[in-house]
Amino acid sequence: MGRPIVCIVGRPNVGKSTLFNRIVRQRIAITEDTPGVTRDRIYADAEWQGNHFTLIDTGGLEPDSEDTIMSNIRKQAAIAMDTADVILFVVDGLEGLTNTDRDVANILRKSGKDVILVCNKIDTSRVPDTIYDFYELGMGEPVLISAEQALGIGDLLDDIVALFPEHKSTDGEDELIKVTFIGKPNVGKSSLINHILGEERVIVTNIPGTTRDAIDSYFSYGDNDYVLVDTAGLRKKKRIYEDVERYSVVRTLAAVDRSDICVLVIDATEGVTEQDTKIAGYAHDNGKAIIIAINKWDLIEKDNKTVRNFERDIREKLSFISYAPIIFISAKTGQRVNKLLELINLVNNNYNLRISTGVLNDIINEAVLMNQPPSDKGKRLRIYYGTQVAVRPPKFVIFINDKDLMHFSYERYLENQIRQHFGFDGSPIRLEFNQRSRGD
């Protein structure tokens, strides 16, 4: 990426995620009073006075903690700091300097990067005496802000932009293709993204539900630039105890909303579950392109009927997304992951495919000759012509004499005829019928 990268670091519960959300102007990072809610690096595009940059939120740093999640957070923060041009070291201005702050400061000094010391939670014009303790860190004058109240954010952004390297581009970029990985917890979504990226961009443990946020990672393959979005797995509602978990469900659905392609990751050892059906249904209803990736295929004992039986079961349970291609992969061994990337490119092309009006009407006329439209009480459905009006997903408007005569089975027949000629693998198709008299 040619954009400047700004990374937010600090110990837990100092308001890093609140600041992140404030700068990107939307609620992306989950904010809770529970320390350690943000576990992974969360990426988002941000802009200030025409300067575009990438902002990274990281999990809270506790350098001496031996906890598995905490050690992973340290690793994530280290990678974020390595890639950052500017680091925002956020501290709690009300609580004052702590030993953990000193430890984090020591780590940051070794990074050799430009660091801005940000004292958060200063909600009044009176500066508390605790602020002066932070001068001992040797990181210059602290910038006083309140992320919650949006105080001092503009001045902070001015300071950030002033430190951007000259060789980085701050222009707005072309829209990237967003690929969201969806599925229930612990099916291997994070492991799959890590394999694609070739680095541990997303925390992976065998604890279900490790990923709580939807996390963006930038990636190029072929001629296309992608954003890969890892999502928190959706649990059954009765298992959603914490508010944080409930936010994660909302965040997963929001990630689907802003995606172009959804890769539904299914655990081969479990098969299709109720949660898989629900999230796939949400993606389908919202017109997203879909790929079904059966992960952990290396764990399955196989014979010459295994693949066929698996596919039949998936098609029965996910019949409403019959257009979605199925691929059998292993994130652990890398089996067919390259094929998945090729499939993502193919599906993206289909999602953007446009058919000329002349060719579309040739297909419709041939379909009508092969199978006459339905009739009711002596009145037959007449199809005048069709035209494609949109892509992502492809949408066709077909002009007919009477909407009441269009039966859903004939609508399905027309869709199948279009697919027979042009495939549209992985992409839903929308048909809209407009009624008009012959003289219109």
Domains, in order of start, for the chain: 5-162 (3.40.50.300), 177-351 (3.40.50.300), 357-435 (3.30.300.20)
pLDDT at 439 over 90: no
Residues sharing a CB contact under 8 Å with residue 316, sequence separation 6 or more, in sequence order: none
Measure the CA–CA gap between 103 and 64, rounded to whole angstroms. 9
Q: For the segment 131-172, what is each residue's pLDDT rounded down to a tens digit?
A: 889 999 999 999 999 999 999 999 999 999 999 988 766 665
Place of tokens 């069709």: 386
Residues sharing a CB contact under 8 Å with residue 210, sequence separation 6 or more, in sequence order: 39, 69, 190, 203, 204
> Under a CB-based contact definition with an 8 Å cutoff, are residues 419 and 382 in contact?
no
Give residue 426's identity as a one-letter amino acid code: G
Place of tokens 């409930």: 246
- Secondary structure of residue 350 in the 3-state scheme: helix
Backbone angles phi, psi at 400, to 5 degrees: -135, 170
Convert 116-157 into a string of H (helix), E (strand) and C (coil).
EEEEECCCCCCCCHHHHHHHHHCCCCCEECECCCCECHHHHH
pLDDT at 236 over 70: no
Measure the CA–CA gap between 207 and 175, rounded to whole angstroms. 34
Task: Name the burial class of residue 293, with classes exposed (0-12), middle (13-18) and buried (19+) by CB atoms within 10 angstroms of its CB.
Answer: buried
Token reading at 350:
């289909």
Q: For the segment 42-94, what is each residue's pLDDT rounded down to a tens digit?
A: 667 788 888 888 788 876 555 666 666 556 555 656 766 777 889 999 999 99
> Under a CB-based contact definition with an 8 Å cutoff, are residues 229 and 146 in contact?
no
> Under a CB-based contact definition with an 8 Å cutoff, are residues 394 and 384 in contact?
no
Q: For the segment 106-130, what is each residue's pLDDT rounded down to a tens digit?
A: 888 888 889 999 999 998 878 888 8
Cα–Cα distances in angstroms (integers) from residue 282 to residues 58, 216, 231, 275, 418, in the given order: 29, 20, 14, 11, 24
Whether the model pTM is above 0.85: no
Q: Is 207 left (phi over 0), alpha (psi -120 to 50) or beta?
A: beta
